[in-house]
Structure 1
Amino acid sequence: MKQNQTLMALFPLFLILTIAAEVEGTKLFVFGDSYVDTGNNLNASSYKLPYGMTYPGTPSGRYANGRVLTDYIASYLKIETPTAYTLKNSSNLHNGINFAYGGTGLFKTLFDGPNLTVQIDSFEQLIKQNVYSKSDVESSIFLVNDGGNDYVAFAVKDRNLFGIEKFMKSLVEELSVNIKRIHSLGAEKIFVSLLPPAGCVPKISVVSLYHKCLDPLNKVSRNHNTMLLQVVEDLNKELGKPVVRTLDIYNSFQSAIETMQKNHKENSTLMNPLEPCCAPLKAGFACGNVDEKGNKRYTLCEKPELSFFWDNLHPSQNGWNSVFTQLELSLSQIIGGGGGGGGGGNLTIMELYYFSILILVRC
C-alpha cells in the first residue's frame, strides 16, 4: 500500500519529466509570411532602423521593434530561434530553420519571393541532402502562418469583390495541399495559424473614426478561419490522428486589443492599441523610410513597449507578447488536445463593399 502511494506521489514528477524530455531537443520549422519571418527578406524595410531597436538592438529582418511570434514559440520550446533560411550555414541548423518570407503567400502576391510551395521545396531539398533525418522531422514542430497577403493581392489585382468566397475556397484548398505535403515529408506536429482580424490593422482601422476595427473586414478573416478549421478537422480524420493543430491568432489578437483599449479608455495617456508606434509622416511613406538627406519619413511613439502595433501592419514586440500569452495554452497541444475556432457566415453586399478598403493596403 505504501509503495503504491509512493508511486502515485511520483507520478506528477514522472509526467513532467516525460513532457520535458519530449520538448527537449525539438526543432522548429517555420513557413509563411512577415508575421513569422526573422530575416529572410534581405531587401525589406525590416532590415532598416528603427526595426529591431528593442531586440536585438539593430535591424534583424523582423517586422517589429523586437521579437515576433516565431521567437516566442521557440522560447516556449526552450530552444533558440531557428535561423532564417537565407542566413543558414552548417553550424546553425540544430534548432531548425525559418523559411518564412515577408510579403509572400500561397499564390502570387504583390511582392516577389518564395511562396509556401517554394518554401516547402527548400525544406524537402534539405531532407534529400540528409541535413535532417527522418527522426528529426518526426519529432519537430512545424509552424505555418500564411494567407493574409493573398487577400490583399486579390483586392488590389482582381477587385471582383463578389468572387471573394470562391477565392477563399481556393486559397484554403491550396493551404490544405501544402499542409498534406509537409505531413508527407514526415511531420507529425503541424501548427497552422488562423488569420488575425484584418479590420484591426492600422492600415485599415485608420479609415474609421478613432481607430476602430472594421468588423466587415474582420468577417473575411472569420470566414476564412471557419473554412480552415473544417479542413483541419477533415484532414485529421483522414489521417486518423491529430497531426494538424490550429493557433487561434484571431481571438488572441481580439482579446489583447480589447484589454488594451479598455486600459486606454481608463488612462488616455496610454496608446490606442490600433495606432502604430512607427507611423509614416504622410501617405506614400513607411516606417523605416528616410529621404536623400537621411531625414526620417516616420515618427516614433514615446513608449514602444506599451504599443500593440509596431507599424501599419505588424504587431510590436509587446503586441506579440500579448498575443502569445493568449496562445500559450494552445501550445500544450504539442502533447495532446484539440483546436479552436471562430464563427463565420456568408458575406453580405455591404461587407463586400467594406472588403474593397483592402485596396488601400500596400504591405
Structure 2
Amino acid sequence: MAKQLAITFLPFLPLLLFTSITEMVEGTKKTYGVTDSNTVKLFVFGDSYVDTGNFLDSPSYRAPYGMTNPGKPAGRFSDGRVLSDYIASFLKIDTPTPYSLKNSSNLQYGINFAHGGVGIFETLTKGPNMTVQIDSLENLVQQNVYTKQDLESSVALVAVSGNDYTAFLVNNKSITEIKSFTETLIKQLSTNVQRIHNLGVNKIAIGLLEPIGCLPQITVVTFHLACVDLLNLVSQNHNEVLLQTVKQLNEQVGKSVFVTLDLYNAFLSTIKMMQENQDENLRLLNPLLKPCCNGDGFKNSCGVVDDKGEKKYSLCDKPEDSFFWDYVHPSQNGWNSVYTQLQSSLGQLTDKN
C-alpha cells in the first residue's frame, strides 16, 4: 500500500501518548516533437498524494479506485482526482504525463515523477525516492527533452515525507529520536528542492505534512470519531522546521522561489467544515474520519479480492460525502476541498517575483 502509516505504528501509540512533547518536536519549447512556446509545464515529485499512475503494481489500478473519475481505475490513490490534478487545473494545463508513460505520451505539460509509497529517503515500498525522481528530470534535460527555458517558465510540485516517518518508526522501533530525524529529513528535502531550482525551475511548491493523527489508519483507535492530537505534534514540528527552512532558502536566492502549501491546516479546516455540515445521526453511523472504501480490520485492503473473487472491502453509499477514500488517502471530494483551501497560496506560483 502506498503512502501509509504502517499498522506497526499502532503498537507505539501508548508510548507516544506518554512521551513528552519536547521529545517529539520535522526560446522554443520542445518535448518529444511537440513545440509549444507558451504553455507552462508542471513537474511533480513525491508520493501517492500526487502520483497519477507511476506505481504500476499498486491497488490504484484495481476497482473501486477511480470509480468517480474517470469511472475506472486510473493509477490514482483515490476514487477520482488527486492534488496534482487540481494544481494542473489551477495552472490551466492538462495533468502532466506519468513518467512511466513518457515514451508513449505527449510531454508538453510536464511530467509526474511521483510514486506511491516512496519518500525522501528509502521507505517500506520499493520505488524511486525523491533523489531518483530528480535524477530522472535531470536526465531528460541532458537529453534535451526539456530545455533550460522550459524549466524557467515552469512549476514544480513537491509532496513527500509521510512514508519517511512510517519507515523510521518501523525500522527504529522508537519515537524518542523523531525530532532529530525530522531535522535530518528536512535537511535532505532542502538539498532536493535546491537541486530542482538549480536545474532551472523558478517556482517550487512544497506541501507541508498533513495531520497524520487524523488519518483513518490511526483514528481507528477512536472509532474514527476524533483525530489523535498528540500524533499531530509530529506533523506540527515537521512543518515548523520546514517553514523556517523555506524562509531561509528564499532569503538566500533573494526572491520567492519556494512556496509552501499548508496541507496540515487545509485538512483540519476541511474536516471541521464537513463535520459541522454533517447530520448528527449520520455522523454517529458514518463518522467523517472513516474511509469510504473500508478494508478488513486494520488492513488497507481497498480494491483487494480473495482467491474466489470476494471483495475484502466495503464501500460507503456516497463517496462525495467522504473526506477520506481509504485508510490514508483523501477522496476526490476531499482533495477538491483541500485545493479550495490552498488557492490563495497557489497564486504565488504565477507571480513573476
Same fold (TM over 0.5): yes
Structure 1 pair 131/299, CA: closer, same or farther in 2 (3 Å)? same
Tell me the amino acid that sits aligned with residue 130 of structure 1: N
Deviation string, structure 1 residues 108-130 (Cα, Å, up to 9, x no partner): 11111000000000000000000
Structure 1 pair 315/147, CA: closer, same or farther in 2 (3 Å)? same
Which residue does the alignment assign to 1:295? 310
CA offset at residue 266 of structure 1?
Answer: 4.2
Tell me the distance in 2 between the aligned counterparts of 1:286 and 1:145: 24
Tell me the amino acid that sits aligned with residue 119 of structure 2: G
- In the superposition, the TM-score normalised over structure 2's length comes to 0.87
Structure 1 pair 191/285, CA: closer, same or farther in 2 (3 Å)? closer
RMSD over aligned Cα, in angstroms? 1.7
Judge conservation of contact 2:190–2:245 (CA < 8 Å) in 1. yes
How many residue pairs get aligned? The number is 316
Tell me the amino acid that sits aligned with residue 303 of structure 1: K
Which residue does the alignment assign to 1:254? 268
Which residue does the alignment assign to 2:54? 40
Of stretches 269-278 and 232-241 in structure 1, the one that deviates more from structure 2 is 269-278
Structure 1: which 5+ residue stretches go unaligned?
Answer: 1-22, 339-363
Is 1:68 equivalent to 2:82 in the alignment?
yes
In the TM superposition, 1:1-150 aligns within 5 A as: 25-89=39-103, 91-150=105-164
Structure 1 pair 242/33, CA: closer, same or farther in 2 (3 Å)? same
Structure 1 pair 115/276, CA: closer, same or farther in 2 (3 Å)? same
Tell me the distance in 2 between the aligned counterparts of 1:304 and 1:183: 38
Is 1:191 equivalent to 2:209 in the alignment?
no
Structure 1 pair 110/315, CA: closer, same or farther in 2 (3 Å)? same
Tell me the distance in 2 between the aligned counterparts of 1:60 and 1:305: 18
Which residue does the alignment assign to 1:239? 253
Tell me the amino acid that sits aligned with residue 287 of structure 2: N
Tell me the amino acid that sits aligned with residue 193 of structure 2: I
- In the superposition, the TM-score normalised over structure 1's length comes to 0.84
Percent of residue pairs bearing the same amino acid type: 58
Tell me the amino acid that sits aligned with residue 305 of structure 1: E
Deviation string, structure 1 residues 208-262 (Cα, Å, up to 9, x no partner): 2452101111111011000000000000101111110000111100100001111
**Which structure would you say has the larger Rg?**
1
Judge conservation of contact 1:264–1:272 (CA < 8 Å) in 2. no
Which residue does the alignment assign to 1:332? 347
Which residue does the alignment assign to 2:174? 160
Which residue does the alignment assign to 1:322? 337
Tell me the distance in 1 between the aligned counterparts of 2:255 and 2:191: 18
Which residue does the alignment assign to 2:292? 277
Judge conservation of contact 1:271–1:307 (CA < 8 Å) in 2. no
CA offset at residue 307 of structure 1?
Answer: 0.8
Tell me the distance in 1 between the aligned counterparts of 2:286 and 2:89: 27
Of stretches 31-40 and 284-293 in structure 1, the one that deviates more from structure 2 is 284-293
**Tell me, what secondary structure is at the counterpart of 1:149?**
helix
